[in-house]
Amino acid sequence: MPPSEDRSATPEQSVLRHLIRAATAILTEAQVPSAESDAISLAEHVLGIDRLVLVMPPPLPEEFTADYAAVVERRRRREPLQHITGRAHFRHLALQVRPGVFIPRPETEVVAEHAVSAAHAVRRAGRDPLVVDLCCGAGPIAVSVASEVPGSSVLAVDAEGAAVDLTLANAAAARVRIRAMVADVRQEDLLADHEGQVDVLVANPPYIPPDAVPQQREVREHDPDLALYGGGPDGLDIPRAVIRAAARLLRPSGVFIMEHAEVQAGAVREVVSDTGGFTEVSTAEDLSGRARMVLARRR
């Protein structure tokens, strides 16, 4: 909890601490995850600052209390924090977020880390890597690679125009250049001009089975179904299409990385192996130690 009141506190400190404590209690009662962290993030958003230091708070605008109460109420109703603030933190980036586009999540940061590492390995070998990000969403992986691996050529693909537009906006905000296009990963001729040329193909596709409705309200009620449900009885129709695309597009020794659900780890490894086009097929863990991504190398 924020520090308790003391007699030496300034008026701004006392008011702000009281409001944050009250907001934390409200969000906790609404079963909002990370209630205190969200309460502080909402205060930062209303104040227009990146980091709130309670021992040195800025002057509070006259309308702060009312504005803060309004955003706390939105969060109490389980509107995603990222939709309220308009941004999501991902690795070294502050990404723009918009309703209708999948919200980047910390679990995917390890997927991006593997893509960045693979692209760096290509650079160390003396070539500028070509990296393809399928089902790019808001662009967290594509923009991470472009910003962390100078000289890389990054191509992002998504079925939704709103996602592609947001990816390009996030790339511009990060001052990196990527290419992005609207396309369905199930197209058999997707990126035909790059067949056998891609060094790293990475994806966070929709993969939820039709009967596995997300428990978290923020996901269930606000993320688009197109970005959640992977199709077919096991949710792997679109991931299978991504795997086929990877087998076609990657150059020999190219690296494939794809996120999936924890319960799908064995099934995904089997699909990748059954193509006959990959070696070193393995499962890697996310930040919480769950089996959440497949790694493989093109033969």
In the predicted structure, residue 253 carries a pLDDT above the cut 90: yes
Give the DSSP per-residue string, the chain: -PPPP-TT--HHHHHHHHHHHHHHHHHHHTT-TTHHHHHHHHHHHHHT-S---TTSPPPPPTTHHHHHHHHHHHHHTT--HHHHHTEEEETTEEEE--TTSPPP-GGGHHHHHHHHHHHHHHHHTTSPPEEEEES-TT-HHHHHHHHHSTT-EEEEEES-HHHHHHHHHHHHHTT---EEEE--TT-TTTTGGGTTTEEEEEE----B-TT---SSHHHHHHS-GGGTB-SSTTS-HHHHHHHHHHHHHEEEEEEEEEE--GGGHHHHHHHHHHTS-EEEEEEEE-TTS-EEEEEEEE-
Does residue 213 fall inside a structural domain?
yes
Average pLDDT over residues 39-57: 91
pLDDT of residue 3: 47
2, pLDDT greater than 50: no
Q: How confident is the model at residue 9 (pLDDT cuts 50, 70, 90)?
A: low
Give the residue from 48, 77, 106 where a domain finishes: 77
- Same-domain pairing of 192 and 291: yes
Contact 264, 208 (CB under 8 A): no
Tell me, yes or no, whether 2 lies in a domain.
Answer: no
Q: Does 44 map to a domain?
A: yes
Largest CA distance in the chain: 71
Report the pLDDT value the prediction gives residue 115, as an integer from 0 to 100: 98
pLDDT score at 7: 52
Question: 46, 77, 108 — which closes off a domain?
Answer: 77
The token duo for 279 is 């070696």
Residues 49 and 93 in one domain: no
Confidence of residue 145 (pLDDT cuts 50, 70, 90): very high
Instruction: Return the bridge partners of 257, or none.
Output: 202, 295
Q: Domain span at residue 222?
A: 88-298
51-72 mean pLDDT? 91
Q: What is the mean pLDDT of residues 216-231?
A: 92
How many domains, the chain? Answer: 2
Do 97 and 191 lie in one domain? The reply is yes
Tens-place pLDDT, residues 198-218: 999 999 999 999 988 888 889
Answer whether residue 273 is part of any domain: yes
Q: What's the whole-number mean pLDDT along residues 219-240?
A: 94
Judgement on whether residues 272 and 179 belong to the same structural domain of the protein: yes
**Are residues 96 and 67 both part of a single domain?**
no
Mean pLDDT of 276-280: 98
Q: What is the mean pLDDT of residues 11-37?
A: 93
- Both 67 and 161 in a single domain? no
Please write the tens of the pLDDT for every residue from 158-197.
999 999 999 999 999 999 999 999 999 999 999 999 999 9
The residue type of 38 is D
Give the mean pLDDT of the chain. Answer: 94
What integer pLDDT is reported at residue 5 of this predicted model?
A: 46
pLDDT band of residue 137 (cuts 50, 70, 90) is very high
Do 64 and 105 belong together in one domain?
no
**One domain, residues 169 and 262:** yes
Whether residue 117 is found in the same domain as residue 259: yes
99-102 contacts, C-beta under 8 A, 24 or more apart = 99/222, 100/160, 100/162, 100/224, 101/137, 101/138, 101/160, 101/162, 101/163, 101/166, 101/224, 101/227, 102/137, 102/138, 102/163, 102/223, 102/224, 102/227, 102/228
Using a cut of 0.95, tell me whether the model's pTM lies above it. no
Where is the domain boundary, 28, 49, 77? 77
Q: Is 3 a domain residue?
A: no
Residues 292 and 206 in one domain: yes
For residue 291, give both structure tokens. Answer: 């089996």
Kindly state whether residues 34 and 92 are assigned to the same domain.
Answer: no
> The domain spanning residue 240 has which CATH number?
3.40.50.150
Give the model's pLDDT for residue 57: 83
Instruction: Give the per-residue pLDDT at 106.
Output: 92
